Chains A and B, each alone.
Chain A
């Protein structure tokens, strides 16, 4: 599979194509409309609960801030009024300092794993979510972290991880990722935004198959309904914390 090929040989092309289809997930079948897309609001501290998400919410219960060698923790300070029997997916948000970024993630691994295990005990939906935007240089640490979390979570608890959108175009991130669900965040995509939006909207087959089961969207950067409807589970972020004017969808 890793041997070189000669240009122009038909057999070679076949081998290349076979090689790609089996080895690179980006050419897997594109996402198709989900029978019923489940919409879940991400609730950060101080956020309200939009009515459409009353049955299930993703609640940020612990913040971890990595700044240089420091590992800082902050709990959720208040909980919005949740509907009876609301399904709660606890989320641990790990923030990396932009100005003084951590050298690696390894020094914070035990703290993050512990936070995830504690968060998992708070939930009642059978899921727990890790929200960590690792940098390319931290990929190995990140993958090891997710493996460790998965290994130490109860088998019945499913692990969801958010992902930067471009990870869906890079098998090095997704193939070894030991999560049960990958939630690519199709918002605040920076320099790649226009291109990635075009791919998400019109060429989803270019995205890894693991990115087809769930997706994260922002109220401030909406996609057409037929795009969001492709995903069985969608998570929604709102800059305005679900205040006035933000509940339209």
Chain B
């Protein structure tokens, strides 16, 4: 069937299959699992109602506009002018435009296409033709669209259910209807337009005298023409349905004729063809370009200007036709049911055919915070057009400046985005690598802060009604790297029920920390963590941000350990922006980058072991701490501590229990070290804590195939927080926490561990020494082979080639009959 269930929300996004969170969902940008940088994790309905959590300047416009509206209106204003629609914008994006390549295959049991096949199976022919979902090229040649969206299959299932309940629904009639619908859906899998015309479900035989069933067939034929890209035909057929008030599909006739003309205009290839022709003609004038560049340029400009005029005129004609059709529908009270959809389709096409005019109209409409921005998909269409005008194709600075001067909400959003998308807030201690672009971005950011501050200072206080001053105060705090007294006083005066409250409090804590007032920062953080506790707080991202601020100002190791674990959050309310959000372990609490940096780079070995006993930490982190302490102590020759750590591991890490016990049973440090090297290789252990979580237990897996084992478990052990996180370089972190209960011991341990070799170098040199001392050890040939293959790539120390050659030569000289010698033909 053609009619989507969600027709009431016909919008630019639905029409085009655009995905609001597409870039995020596809994984093509780094994703901070603790604090989503582009979208709020607050439930969309609560966000619309003014529970904003901590708003970040890096948010997309989809979140910044509702934030602006909520802040300007305040809680009372929002109650007077409630609006709810953010959830709907993202409801269509939860699958972010993905389709299952398996749809329609025998093994498919989940997709709407599979549901259709199942529901219709009792009425389908035994040798039913295979149905698939196909994509066709859109008019611009590089994007594509899904021929039949999934709701078409769902609607067909519902329709079949209704038909089967009719008194006159004989098995033969249902079989005929299903056969016709299968013919419609067969076109969904045709990737090029214009399937064979005889594939349409054409008229019913004369023996079928029921007007109802004949009309249902006519509707199928029209739908087939639509999916076939034959829009003149489908428009005619739908118009005929819409001209007959007795038709069961009468209500849809005029609307689907409008949709036919809309899709025809949307997929119109004539402008692209004409453009290619002009390109060809201009290119053919290369001789003129050389002989008379001025004349060539004039010719070129005239050719493209004429093309622009012709395209604009063509689009104006198409739009006029659509507007006339929509007016006719809206004037007919019998079609009230489809009035919203018709208006939506027209607005969509206004955006497609005259985007600048539509964008200007929408921008002006959004100026009024008291109006419902979601009505008729107004805000969603604006947001998509804004992507086009302000992100995708470069920015016309003059147009942007004019828009900012005219539209306060746009000025507010744009100022935040200049900062949020370009560079971390100036003054933070973890700036991106310095280059000209970063410097300029920081300057732009500072200019936006000054602008926000000036706007806040210049705006007159409002006692009743929308108050832009509050939005500018919030923006100034979000962009600030210092806290002038007047800003501080105003921030402290923001009431707890204000939508911007958490954003203001977070930035106050951040700015107090930057000022060096750890106590004030901590007090704010603690207060908000009390408010945001529980399994499902308003915003896990907000909680993680406050925890980060508290962690950065922790005064003791114990305090820091209590602030270590953060819970990942993956999207908008309960919806997930990432496909792997529901995978095992995805939402398990774990240390974030700030914690990893501290644990791995700023604690002594004894402190690591002590931390492993902290019951507030999760099992994986505790196990990794114990193993790290064991490995580090052994590597640094701290025999007693290594034994303590091994004892701890034997008790708390079941997988390593036997290995740790064996280690403890050996008499000498050298033997223990060798035993530990073997355990490291077997289980690929590393002396650091990371943030990978696939299970609630620390389950190191023993390597099953010794031929693939390499000593590549670690590179350099340092305090680079991104070296241990699951996705590097995404989190924005405050300065490193450096507290330790025993700084002298810490500095000693960390100094040595930072100077230690990579896993390849450490294991390699140990193996060479061990082989010299124990040449008859049966494992030596394998170990030498591991050393050689480890030097093939990855993290290597200077002189790794020498190590490789030495291991290779020893292997081939002393153990030439070993299978490992045969398997090690080269050194590196």
Contact = CB atoms under 8 A, between A and B. Distances in A.
Interface stretch (B24-32, B290-298, B343-351, B495-503): B24-32
Contact of A188 (B17, B720, B728): B728
Given A245-B423, A245-B437, A194 B18 contact: no
Contacts of A90: 142
Contacts of B99: 72-74
Contact of A191 (B27, B581, B793, B795): B795
Interface stretch (A59-67, A144-152, A153-161): A59-67
Contact of B810 (A7, A19, A74): A7
Interface in B763-816: 792-796, 805, 808-810, 812-813, 816
B26 A84 contact: no
B27 A75 contact: no
A78 B580 contact: no
A248 interface: yes
A24 interface: yes
Interface stretch (A28-36, A175-183, A218-226, A228-236): A218-226
Contacts of A239: 29-30
B749 to A, nearest CB: 21
Nearest to A59: B142
B144 A46 contact: no
Interface stretch (B174-182, B386-394, B547-555, B664-672): B386-394
B142 A76 contact: yes
Contact of B392 (A16, A46, A98, A118): A46
A30 B26 CA distance: 36
Nearest to A222: B435
Given A46-B23, A73-B98, A79 B143 contact: yes
B433 interface: yes
Given A63-B26, A65-B98, A246-B437, A7 B809 contact: yes
Interface residues of B, number: 89
B142 A65 contact: no
Given A23-B826, A166-B793, A221 B28 contact: no
Nearest to B423: A245
A227 to B, nearest CB: 14
Contacts of A63: 26, 98
A73 B146 CA distance: 11
A236 to B, nearest CB: 13
A70 B102 contact: yes
B437 A88 contact: no
A6 B814 CA distance: 9
Contact of B142 (A2, A26, A122, A195): A122
Given A46-B391, A80-B393, A7 B418 contact: no
Contacts of A62: 144
Contact of B22 (A19, A77, A93): A77
A14 interface: no
B391 A2 contact: no
B440 interface: yes
B336 to A, nearest CB: 33
Contacts of A122: 137, 141-142
B813 A7 contact: yes
Contact of A77 (B29, B143, B282, B432): B143
B393 A7 contact: no
A26 B30 CA distance: 31
Nearest to A188: B728
Contacts of A7: 809-810, 812-813
A176 B672 CA distance: 42
Nearest to B102: A71
A85 B278 CA distance: 11
A44 B23 contact: yes
Nearest to B139: A79
Contacts of A24: 826, 828
B435 A244 contact: no
Interface of A: 1-2, 4-7, 16, 19-20, 23-24, 26, 44-49, 59-65, 67, 70-81, 84-85, 88, 90, 93, 95, 97-100, 108, 111, 118, 122, 166, 169-170, 188, 190-195, 219-222, 239-241, 243-248
Given A195-B796, A245-B437, 18 more contacts: A46-B22, A46-B391, A49-B393, A61-B142, A67-B580, A73-B100, A73-B135, A93-B28, A97-B580, A99-B586, A100-B582, A118-B191, A122-B142, A191-B723, A192-B795, A195-B715, A240-B422, A241-B391
Chain A to chain B: the 10 pairs with minimum beta-carbon distance, closest first: A99-B583, A169-B793, A99-B580, A75-B144, A248-B437, A4-B812, A71-B101, A72-B98, A7-B813, A7-B809
14 contacts: A2-B822, A72-B98, A77-B18, A77-B143, A79-B143, A99-B586, A122-B137, A169-B793, A188-B30, A191-B723, A194-B716, A240-B422, A244-B421, A247-B437
